[in-house]
């Protein structure tokens, strides 16, 4: 039987934060790319706010990660964690 995963906004926020840093973006830069405020980025990364579907789609394109990875931490169908880590250390 397949085990269903649930959305944890705090964990999702941590993945967004991690992915943003891997891309070399500040919260201000990511906010500008998404058309939102830096405070809203902080709220998303802390798990206290969520994104509209339109902004979420833009976010995964900007951060170059899959929706599965950001939502559920699934690296099988998304960008492998190892590749993310390699990009971070190679910069």
User: Is residue 34 a part of any domain in this protein?
Assistant: yes
CATH code assigned at 68 = 1.10.260.40
Confidence category of residue 5, pLDDT binned at 50, 70, 90: confident
User: Is residue 14 a part of any domain in this protein?
Assistant: yes
User: Is residue 20 a part of any domain in this protein?
Assistant: yes
pLDDT, tens only, 29-74: 999 999 999 999 999 999 999 999 999 999 999 999 999 999 988 8
User: Is residue 3 a part of any domain in this protein?
Assistant: no
What is the spatial distance between Cα 60 and Cα 83, in angstroms, rounded to a whole number?
16
Which domain range does residue 59 map to?
9-90
Kindly state the tokens that stand for 61.
């394109």
User: Is residue 4 a part of any domain in this protein?
Assistant: no
Average pLDDT of span 14-41? 97
What's the pTM value of the predicted model, to 2 decimals? 0.79
Number of domains observed in the structure of the chain: 1
Q: Which residue has the higher pLDDT, 48 or 87?
A: 48
């Amino acid at each position: 039987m397949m085990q269903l995963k649930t959305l944890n906004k705090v964990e999702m926020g941590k993945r967004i934060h991690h992915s943003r840093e891997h891309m070399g973006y500040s919260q201000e830069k990511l906010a500008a790319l998404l058309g939102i405020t830096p405070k809203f980025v902080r709220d998303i990364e802390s798990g206290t706010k969520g994104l509209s579907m339109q902004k979420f789609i833009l976010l995964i394109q900007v951060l170059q990660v899959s929706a599965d990875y950001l939502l559920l931490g699934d690296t099988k169908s998304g960008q492998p964690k190892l590749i993310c880590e390699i990009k971070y250390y190679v910069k």
